[in-house]
Structure 1
Amino acid sequence: MPQRVRIALDAMGGDVGASVVVPGAAISLSRHPETEFLLIGDSAQIEPQLANHARLKAVSRVIHTDVTVSMHDKPSQALRRGRKSSSMWLAIDAVKKGEADVAVSAGNTGALMAMARFNLHTLPGIDRPAIAGVWPTTRGDSIVLDLGATIGGDAHHLAALAVMGSAMASVLFNLKRPTVGLLNIGVEEMKGHEEIREAAEILRAMNLPQLEYVGFVEGDGIGRGAADVIVTEGYSGNIALKAAEGTARQLTDILRSAMAQSWRSRIGYLFARNAFHALREKLDPRKSNGGVLLGLRGVVVKSHGGTDAEGFAYAVDVGYEMVHYHLLTKINQMLNRDGGALASAPAAQEAIS
Structure 2
Amino acid sequence: MADQDPAEEIKELSSTLASVESVLDLDAKRTEIEQLREQSADPELWNDQDNAQRVTRRLSYLESEVTRVEGIQRRLEDLGVLFELAAAEDDADTLAEARAELAALRKDVGDLEVRTLLSGPYDEREALVTINAQAGGVDAADWTQMLQRMYLRWAERRGYPTEIYDTSYAEEAGIKSTTFAVKAPFAYGTLRGEHGTHRLVRISPFDNQSRRQTSFAGVDVVPVVEQSDHIDIDEGDLRIDVYRSSGPGGQGVNTTDSAVRITHLPTGIVVSCQNERSQLQNRATAMSVLQAKLLERKRQEERAALAELRGEATSSWGTQMRNYVLHPYQSVKDVRTNTETGNTGAVLDGEIDEFIDAEIRWMRNQERDAE
TM-score with structure 1 setting the length? 0.26
Higher-Rg structure is: 2
Larger relative contact order (CA 8 Å, sep ≥ 6): 1
TM-score with structure 2 setting the length? 0.25
